[in-house]
Amino acid sequence: EIVLTQSPGTLSLSPGERATLSCRASQGISSNALSWYQQKPGQAPRLLIYIASSRAPGIPDRFSGSGSGTDFTLTISRLEPEDFAVYYCQQYGSSLTFGGGTKVEIK
Amino acid sequence: EVQLLESGGALVQTGGSLRLSCAASGFTFSSYGMHWVRQAPGRGLEWVSSISGSGGDTYYADSVKGRLTISRDNSKNTLYLQMNSLRADDTAIYYCAKDPNYEGKKRFDFWGQGTLVSVSS
Long-range contacts, stretch A44-53, CB < 8 angstroms, 24+ apart = A44/B95, A44/B111, A44/B112, A44/B113, A44/B114, A45/A88, A45/B37, A45/B45, A45/B95, A45/B108, A45/B111, A46/B111, A47/B107, A47/B108, A47/B109, A47/B110, A48/A74, A48/A87, A49/A74, A50/B100, A50/B107, A50/B109
- SS3 assignment, position A81: helix
Distance CA B85, CA B108 (A): 27
State the pLDDT at residue B104. 84
Q: Average the pLDDT over A55-67 and give the result.
A: 97
Distance CA B83, CA B62 (A): 14
* Interchain CB distance below 8 Å, A101 and B44: yes
Q: Average the pLDDT over B13-28 and give the result.
A: 98
State the pLDDT at residue B103. 87
Q: How far is CA B67 from the centre of its chain?
A: 13
Interface contacts A/B by beta carbons within 8 Å? 52
State the pLDDT at residue A34. 97
Distance (Å) from the alpha carbon of B75 to chain A's nearest alpha carbon: 26
Distance (Å) from the alpha carbon of A73 to chain B's nearest alpha carbon: 18
Of all residues in chain A, the one with the smallest CA distance to B94 is: A44
A93 touches chain B (CB under 8 A): no
Which among B86, B113, B74, B66 is positioned nearest to B19, based on CA atoms? B86
Q: What is the CA radius of gyration of chain A?
A: 13
Q: Read off the pLDDT of residues A17-33 as tens digits, 9 standing for 90 and up.
A: 999 999 999 999 999 99
Average pLDDT for chain B:
96
Backbone dihedral region for residue B77 (phi beyond 0: left; psi -120 to 50: alpha; all else: beta) = left
CB contacts of B44 in chain A (<8 Å) are 88, 98-101
Q: Read off the pLDDT of residues B38-86 as tens digits, 9 standing for 90 and up.
A: 999 999 999 999 999 999 999 999 999 999 999 999 999 999 999 999 9
